[in-house]
């Protein structure tokens, strides 16, 4: 998508840009909670399964040289279910970036990261990917080691963050890192 150029009050350029970002991961890893924390600053304890896809948006200002890029991130929170597998690929079309989420209390969710990253890169080879290892706040239930996360991130060629949607730990950093990647890619 082409950036739209306007001027800010200080005379510097402000570019407006919009990008599609998908959240990928097994059921109950915290995709919806990460989106809610990032977009609305909220966390809710009760689990509500996403059916199909839920789209949210947030505008993030990304400084770039003398300009500021106002990036509208269209966050596509994709459900994970056997029924949804067959159509997930169509939702990935046009995706500029993704956050692959695993649950630190469920080692089986790491395996899904490989499937999601393969699917994403098969459709959009240039899409940016970041891994969010979620639920750091559940320290007494943690079953995934830092070494396992680091190895998975290396394998899927993605930077990683240890996050907690409940406390907000590193949630903004994940999305701002991805925003920076998207803006850098758009300007290249």
The pLDDT tens digits for 62-111 are 988 888 999 999 999 877 655 445 556 778 899 999 999 999 999 999 99
Beta partners for residue 74, in sequence order: 20, 57
Dig out the tokens for 178 from the structure: 């991805």
134 CB-contact burial (10 Å; exposed 0-12 / middle 13-18 / buried 19+): buried
The CATH number of the domain covering residues in 4-187: 3.40.50.300
Dig out the tokens for 130 from the structure: 């970041």
pLDDT lower than 70: segments of the chain:
1-12, 47-52, 80-88, 186-188
The answer to whether 164 and 175 have CB atoms below 8 angstroms apart is no
pTM: 0.88
Q: 72 in helix, strand or coil?
A: strand
Query: Residue 178: what pLDDT?
Result: 98
Query: Residue 2: what pLDDT?
Result: 47
Residue 11 DSSP code: S
What backbone phi and psi angles, to 5 degrees, belong to 151? -65, -45
The answer to whether 75 and 55 have CB atoms below 8 angstroms apart is yes
């Amino acid at each position: 998508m082409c950036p739209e150029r306007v001027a800010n009050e200080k005379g510097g350029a402000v570019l407006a840009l919009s990008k599609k970002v998908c959240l990928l991961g097994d059921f109950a890893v915290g995709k919806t909670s990460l989106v809610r924390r990032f977009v609305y600053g909220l966390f809710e304890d009760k689990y509500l399964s996403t059916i199909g896809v839920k789209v949210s948006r947030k505008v993030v200002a990304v400084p770039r040289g003398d300009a500021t890029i106002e990036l509208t991130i269209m966050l596509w929170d994709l459900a994970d279910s056997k029924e949804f597998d067959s159509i997930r690929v169509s939702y990935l079309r046009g995706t500029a970036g993704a956050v692959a989420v695993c649950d630190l209390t469920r080692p089986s969710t790491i395996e899904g990261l490989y499937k999601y990253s393969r699917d994403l890169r098969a459709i959009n080879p240039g899409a940016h990917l970041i891994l969010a290892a979620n639920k750091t706040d559940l320290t007494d239930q943690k079953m995934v080691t830092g070494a396992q996360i680091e190895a998975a991130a290396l394998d899927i060629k993605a930077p990683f963050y240890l996050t907690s949607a409940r406390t907000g730990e590193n949630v903004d950093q994940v999305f701002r890192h991805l925003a920076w990647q998207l803006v850098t890619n758009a300007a290249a």
